[in-house]
Chain A
């Protein structure tokens, strides 16, 4: 079984709809991250969480919110989806004790906003 899972894997929605993307991990890592990937722009950090009580904005948090329900779960919400939020979304985890910041990524969610 995958260590980092994301649901759904693909989603098509309409402008104005509320969408939640979910991430679960079995790696026991404290740190979790949400990124989006767009062609030509690379991976950009949306939000990150270093433990259940810690939530931080990344470089492109506008239009997004997150919830860290438990150590193993970190969800990303689009309150009112817009077409320029069409992207590939990745969740990632890392272990603070690893000594370097290797991140382990989920398989991604491909979101299309019409």
Chain B
């Protein structure tokens, strides 16, 4: 079983739509959670951290369910510029080691 699993998509949605991505992680000791965005042939960039209480940044809302080991990202009022791959990322802490574990990503294509 992969440590972080995502539906690869693609999710094809019209502009203005609301879209949600899900992610599950296998290690219950995971301590920090993030969504990164990666544009085609570009480097990943942090989109937002995910907190237990849920958090919102403009049109983006992230949720964490530790009991189900599940993370979600909701995008409202999709824009063409939201088209990208969204990577779910968890961190495991062990001694001095803080390593990011990346999911394979979910591809979003927003259509005009």
Q: Which residues of A contact B (CB under 8 A)?
A: 40-45, 48, 50, 56, 58, 90, 94, 100-103, 105-108
Which one, B10-18, B64-72, B73-81, B102-110, is touching chain A? B102-110
B97 at the interface (CB under 8 A from A): yes
Can you give 28 contacting A-B residue pairs, CB < 8 Å?
Answer: A40-B104, A42-B4, A42-B87, A42-B103, A42-B104, A42-B105, A43-B44, A43-B100, A45-B100, A48-B99, A56-B97, A90-B43, A90-B44, A94-B98, A100-B32, A100-B49, A101-B32, A101-B91, A101-B100, A102-B46, A102-B49, A105-B43, A106-B43, A107-B42, A107-B43, A108-B41, A108-B42, A108-B43
Contacts of B41 in A (CB 8 A): 108
Which of A40, A101, A108 contacts B98 (CB under 8 A)? Answer: A101
B45 at the interface (CB under 8 A from A): yes
Known: A101-B32, A102-B34. A43 touches B102 (CB 8 A): yes
A43, A50, A105, most chain B CB atoms within 10 A: A43
Additional A-B contact list (5), CB under 8 Å, known A50-B96, A105-B44: A40-B8, A42-B104, A94-B98, A107-B42, A108-B41
Interface size class, chain B: 20 to 34
Alpha-carbon distance between A45 and B102 when the two chains are bound, in angstroms: 9
Alpha-carbon distance between A90 and B46 when the two chains are bound, in angstroms: 15
Q: Name the distance in Å between B76's Cβ and chain A's nearest Cβ.
A: 24
Q: Name the distance in Å between A50's Cβ and chain B's nearest Cβ.
A: 7
B45, A105: Cβ atoms closer than 8 Å: yes
